[in-house]
Structure 1
Amino acid sequence: MFNFSKDHVENTTDDLAKKSDQAIEEIAAQVKSTANDLLDAVNDTADTTQDKAKALIHTLKANIDRLTSEENAAALASNLSAKAGRVKDQVQREVSDTYHSIKDKTADTVQEHPLGTVLVAAGVGLLIGYLLGAKRRE
């Protein structure tokens, strides 16, 4: 049943050694092939990513150039100046309207209550005089 002759054992050992060497070589070849495929895929991805990054940088540079061009800056400055002028005019109108409104209300109050106005003015004058006199004493 079992053949344990020296030649048979040596032949079987040699066959097993050859088969294991072949298996190791096949596995090494498959690993090398897989590594090469993976390296190619990584390189392709890196190239694609680099191309996309270059395109994005080019687009950003173009946008920066467009936004910082002298014509655009001059137009922006002109636009801001015009808006500032409109705001200034509106504020001047508001202040003027408020001034005239307060002036008219004060004139009406003085005309309607002349004695009260004189008394309030005198009271304010006395208060200011007292405060200034107290400061000089210190």
Structure 2
Amino acid sequence: MFNFSKDNIEHTTDRLAQKSDQAIQELASQVKSTANELLDAVHDTTEETQDKAKTLIRSLKSNIDRLANDETSESIVADISSRASRVKDQVQEEVSETYQTIKNKTVDTVQQHPLGTVLVAAGAGLLIGYLLGSKRRE
């Protein structure tokens, strides 16, 4: 009923290895594509954040000059703290959005290609098992 000959097992293993290699290459290509898209999005977001930060810094400098001439040091400190807090909040928001985007794209890739994910995991398991098995025989 079952053919457990060495040649049959080697043939099946080779076939699985080839399919795993194909799945790994496809998944790697998709991951690379997603990574490139994410890098572009991060780059765009970084530029936008830098522009916003530069604008806020110019505004802070202008306000510091104005406040130095018009108001007490306590109001200067309060204004600077308020603006610094807004810059921090904007940067945190941008980082959180970028993280969510990366996380969602990774989850989508794995969900769209579950067989590829399983084949990659199986291939990694076979490779680790082979390597550990060969060390024990030595």
Normalising TM by the smaller chain, what interval? 0.3 to 0.5
State TM-score, norm by structure 1.
0.38
Q: Which has the higher contact order (CA 8 A, sep 6+)?
A: 2
Which has the larger Rg?
1
